[in-house]
Amino acid sequence: MEYLIQYGMFLAKAATIVIAIIIVFGAIAASGNRQRKSGKKGHIKVTHLNEHFDEMKDTLRHTVLAKDQLKQVHKSEKKQAKLETKEQAKLEKEALKKTETDSPAEQESDVPIRKKRVYVLNFTGDIAAEEVSSLREEITAVLSLAEPSDEVLLRLESPGGMVHAYGLASSQLLRIKSKQIPLTICVDKVAASGGYMMACLADRLIVAPFSIIGSIGVLVQIPNFYRVLKKHEIDYEIISAGEFKRTLSQFGEITQKGKDKVQEEVETMHDIFKKWIKDHRPSVDIDKIATGETWVGTQAKERYMVDEIKTSDECIVSACENADVFEVEFEIQKSIQDKIGSVFQGTVEKLFSNWLGKSTTNTYQ
């Protein structure tokens, strides 16, 4: 009898856990459906980087400086701010007088009296350039306000990927250039293949000393299991119309004719890639750099593939001295399922990274 009571308690506990799990997943699914029905893709987040850096500097000063030193610094800053305000008011007054006397054509050619604005965007590319969905929204937002006297600074990191995906990403950057807005691209780690396809569009291409640049080439690779299937007497059929509708496949027999056709397509795409680079960076010797090789930033500068050696942090901090700098991000609204998946993926990647770090040794001695 006691055994039956314990067994009944076990079943009750198990049933409670199962019901709780069903309720939780049901709530998650319902929340995801509500978000999809709302039609909201995401929102633009803007960070005034001048204020961000000032807050960091102020926090450090309050900790490091003595009270009398801090008082002197604040006094000096107030004096400088007062002078700048006075100078700005003077410029606005002169501009107003000029507007009253100038013709409409002359008014349009006047230099704006406001401070220059620098809009900072970020693009971290994967093989499918999935961040282009956010990049296009950010560029649309910036172009609604930016003027030719402003600047767009893109922090770019990408090892490259699919041709059509990076072609679209590059086309988004062309929207900025078509508005005659200066485009600066900074690369701290890597801009290779499709990443360099984007990077070469910059009016100023700035890279870190040890960043990886180049890989101007085209690659097609595919595993083939035809011989495995043949060995086990497994048939694989493809029904198609058009002589070259299918040239290489994972399970079909690889023919010389099919390989020749793919090689022709790869060579054609490589020629298009080289022309794109040459059109946007005419200073390079395209035949010497379009070998599929990569170089570190300093080597790339020697080959005129980049303009300056500097980190993106240096560029942004320097811009804050003379301009209002705004970081613009399009944050895609994620469902609860996506958030849970991201947390799980991040945990797995962190565990793998920790394991890999422990199982390898540093090769630099």
Q: Is the pLDDT of residue 107 over 60?
A: no
Q: Which residue's entry shows tokens 């009270």?
A: 67
pLDDT tens digits, 170-190: 999 999 999 999 999 999 999
Q: What sign does the dihedral 127-302-152-274 (CA atoms) show?
A: negative
Q: Is the pLDDT of residue 102 over 70?
A: no
* Alpha-carbon distances of 4 from 8, 17, 18, rounded to whole Å: 6, 20, 21
Task: Look up the domain containing 74 and give its range.
Answer: 52-80
pLDDT tens digits, 258-270: 999 999 999 999 9
Nearest to 43 by CA among 327, 330, 334: 330
Examine residue 123 and state whether it is found in any structural domain, yes or no.
Answer: no
Residue type, 8: G
Q: How many domains does the chain have?
A: 1
Length of the chain: 365
Strand pairing report for 190-192 and 151-157: unpaired
Question: Do 141 and 329 form a contact (C-beta atoms < 8 A)?
Answer: no
Examine residue 117 and state whether it is found in any structural domain, yes or no.
Answer: no
Q: What ranges in the chain are assigned the alpha helix state H?
A: 2-38, 49-64, 67-101, 104-109, 132-143, 163-178, 194-199, 226-231, 256-280, 286-289, 297-302, 312-320, 336-359
* Catalytically active residues, by annotation: 193, 245
Q: What is the pTM of this model?
A: 0.76
Examine residue 226 and state whether it is found in any structural domain, yes or no.
Answer: no
Q: Please report the pLDDT score of residue 301 as a whole number.
A: 97
Q: Which residues contact 211 (CB under 8 A, 6 or more apart)?
A: 187, 188, 189, 190, 191, 296, 297, 300
Q: Please report the pLDDT score of residue 295 as a whole number.
A: 97
Examine residue 74 and state whether it is found in any structural domain, yes or no.
Answer: yes
pLDDT tens digits, 209-233: 999 999 999 998 889 998 999 889 8
CA dist 138 and 140 (Å) reads 5
Examine residue 61 and state whether it is found in any structural domain, yes or no.
Answer: yes
Maximal CA-CA distance, the chain: 105
Helix, strand or coil, per DSSP, at residue 58: helix
Mean pLDDT taken over the chain: 84
Examine residue 72 and state whether it is found in any structural domain, yes or no.
Answer: yes
Strand pairing report for 183-187 and 151-157: parallel
Residue 364 pLDDT grade (very low, low, confident, very high; cuts 50, 70, 90): very low
Examine residue 56 and state whether it is found in any structural domain, yes or no.
Answer: yes
Residue 78 pLDDT grade (very low, low, confident, very high; cuts 50, 70, 90): confident
CA dist 193 and 219 (Å) reads 10
pLDDT tens digits, 287-297: 999 999 999 99
Q: Please report the pLDDT score of residue 360 as a whole number.
A: 47
Examine residue 261 and state whether it is found in any structural domain, yes or no.
Answer: no
CA atoms within 13 A on the CB side of 131: 21
pLDDT tens digits, 10-25: 667 777 777 777 776 6
Residue 280 pLDDT grade (very low, low, confident, very high; cuts 50, 70, 90): very high
Percent of the chain with pLDDT over 70: 78
Q: Is the pLDDT of residue 142 over 90?
A: yes
pLDDT higher at 194 or 356 = 194
pLDDT higher at 135 or 239 = 135
What is the side-by-side strand order in the sheet with 323-332? 42-48, 323-332, 116-124, 151-157, 183-187, 204-207, 308-309
